[in-house]
Amino acid sequence: MNYQEFMEIVNKKLTSMSDSEKDSWIYNLARVTKEDKRIAFLNFTIDQPGEHLITPDVEWIEAFCEDIESGEIYFECTGYEVYGENYWDSDFKYDYFDEFKIGNDLLRAFQQAEELLYQKNYIQAAKIYESLCMMVFQANERDAGGWDELELEDLVEENIVELDLNHIAKHAIYAKYQATEGKRRPAALFNYFTWKMSTNLRMEEIFIIGPEALADLDLFMEDWISFLGNKQGDLAGKLLIEACMYQGGIHRLCETAKVVSATHPILYKYACEHLLNQNQVIECEKLGLEAMQQLPKNLIIRAEIADLTAKAANSLDHHETVEKCYVAAFYSDSSLSNYLRLFQLTEDGREITSQAAKYAKTLPEQKIDYDYRVNRQLLTNNLSKEQKKVIAFFNAEFETVYEDCKKETTKLGWSNSFIGIAVPLFILALNKNSEITKAGKQLINGFVHRLGYTSSNRDCFLDQFLTWKEKIDLSAEQYVKYIQWLSKVVDQRTEAVVGGGYRKSYYKAAALIASLGETLESNGDLNARERIIEYYKKLHSRKRAFKSEFEKFHSA
């Protein structure tokens, strides 16, 4: 139940109550009020300024702010290095000292600002809140003699002062709203929502504080929606979703999504999620298809909407729509997961995957900048060189990948080179068994995160890989060529890792050896797994830690 719905019910109850019933209701509310809320409750019932429990000293607050700004009062600190496991693993820490009792004065100043708010002196309260929240504090380094600057949020994060920033932010926004004229409110309030202390705040939280209801709220909400619709960024998108849901529910959100799709495509995504969660699958499918048609093909969020639409379509047994969504998802977000999913398509699957792989090669490479961090809903499709090579492999461009890998001479540092992905993939692809063994899973664990998968969806890759392998044909000539190369590479890798004494990577070499043996055995080389393992055990007979790694792979 949102604020608007709640207040409508309250107004109906008040209208139907007698005076004695209202008195009883207020009395019972007071009776159950928690101790830390009692002063605020009393302030609701007090109309005469002389009856307030605290008399704000505005002149003292202004003088306190001037002392901070001029550097008359400040914090002190000492810095030192904190070392981790080795000399190079270090961080610089500071201990802070509040010799001027700034923390106590800050708490007092915020309490007085809140008292002004409950006295309905909104202009003065808003002025003080803004001064205190935007203050820059100086910290003098005792040893070095230099100065550092800290913001209010820094003081709390460093445990220099104890303040409830969430509480402060809500009251600051409330005061600013009441102190600002109608048309100027949206821009003024949005600026407050950009503060770090306002992170995760919802506009509706502001409605339930203060001594009286926000003035002209319905008019403001319409202005707020209009303002946010034209404001770039994820924060504006989040606030716009909340405003639409408050003002008119899912219907208002869907209507607004069409209007602001160029600026806030996230509205389509949230609306689809909401409809899907409410089991309104027909509406979700319809809206999702509309969004896929309206949004630019290269928007990553379009792929997320396509996934939601596919779920709705699947529950309706609309299989053609599901396949359409899978294809759309790849062209908007060309991840390996989205590519491998195309192999599940029933009709013309191979032609679709071939065309998709060609498209992937045309994509720009990854680009991350400030705008992308604050406006992720407008992220566009891109693919790194490494990911393009991975998709080429799964498009059965084995010869191209093979020739590319032959150019890499590194035997160490595979975690950062493409060969560290390609060699395990070749070994697993050449294996004719329909299951992945413990050694194979160990191989996959070593590179699956580089393919865009996480520990939570690793099994998804296993399933997709096995489905893909069923649809790929490798000739006997290809097998012979690649297995000879792999045997040589594994031997060189093992010598570099085990011979070089890199104990933390012994398990990687062991997984490669065991998996190579399993692939040889699956292609008719009897006892190849045991034979190759024993060969390397004898070759490195003094490496007990290395030999023990094979114990993990005893059973499939």
545 pLDDT more than 60: yes
The percentage of the chain sitting over the pLDDT mark of 70, rounded to a whole number, equals 92
* 120 phi, psi to nearest 5 deg: 70, 20
pLDDT of res. 49: 43
Q: Which fold has domain 234-378?
A: 1.25.40
The per-residue pLDDT for range 99-146, each reduced to its tens digit, is: 999 999 999 999 999 999 999 999 999 999 999 999 999 999 988 778
The per-residue pLDDT for range 295-324, each reduced to its tens digit, is: 999 999 999 999 999 999 999 999 999 999
The domain segmentation of the chain, as residue ranges, is 58-214, 234-378, 398-553
The percentage of the chain sitting over the pLDDT mark of 90, rounded to a whole number, equals 78
153 pLDDT more than 90: yes
50 pLDDT more than 60: no
pLDDT of res. 222: 98
> Residue 494 corresponds to which tokens in the numbers above?
């093992």
Asked whether the beta carbons of 157 and 131 are under 8 A apart, the reply is no
263 pLDDT more than 70: yes
The per-residue pLDDT for range 235-257, each reduced to its tens digit, is: 999 999 999 999 999 999 999 99
Helix (H) or strand (E) holding 82: strand 75-83
How many C-beta atoms surround the C-beta of residue 316 within 10 A?
13
The whole-model pTM stands at: 0.85
Contacts of 68 (CB under 8 A, 6+ apart): 74, 102, 135, 137, 138
The per-residue pLDDT for range 330-346, each reduced to its tens digit, is: 999 999 999 999 998 87
Counting Cβ atoms within 10 Å, is residue 353 exposed (0-12), middle (13-18) or buried (19+)? buried
List, in sequence order, every residue forming a beta bridge with 75; answer none if it has no partner: 139
Distance from the Cα of residue 49 to its chain's centroid: 47
Counting Cβ atoms within 10 Å, is residue 454 exposed (0-12), middle (13-18) or buried (19+)? exposed
From residue 549, alpha-carbon distances to 225, 534, 556 in Å are 61, 13, 15
Q: Which of 84-88, 393-397, 415-419 has the lowest mean pLDDT?
A: 84-88
The average confidence (pLDDT) of the chain is 91
The per-residue pLDDT for range 440-494, each reduced to its tens digit, is: 999 999 999 999 998 888 889 999 999 999 998 899 999 999 999 999 999 999 9
518 pLDDT more than 80: yes
Counting Cβ atoms within 10 Å, is residue 148 exposed (0-12), middle (13-18) or buried (19+)? middle
DSSP assignment of 104-168 equals: HHHHHHHHHHHHHHHTT-HHHHHHHHHHHHT-EEEEEETTT--EEEEEHHHHHHTTSS---HHHH
pLDDT of res. 374: 79
pLDDT of res. 554: 75
pLDDT of res. 556: 47
Asked whether the beta carbons of 77 and 140 are under 8 A apart, the reply is yes
The per-residue pLDDT for range 422-441, each reduced to its tens digit, is: 999 999 999 999 999 999 99
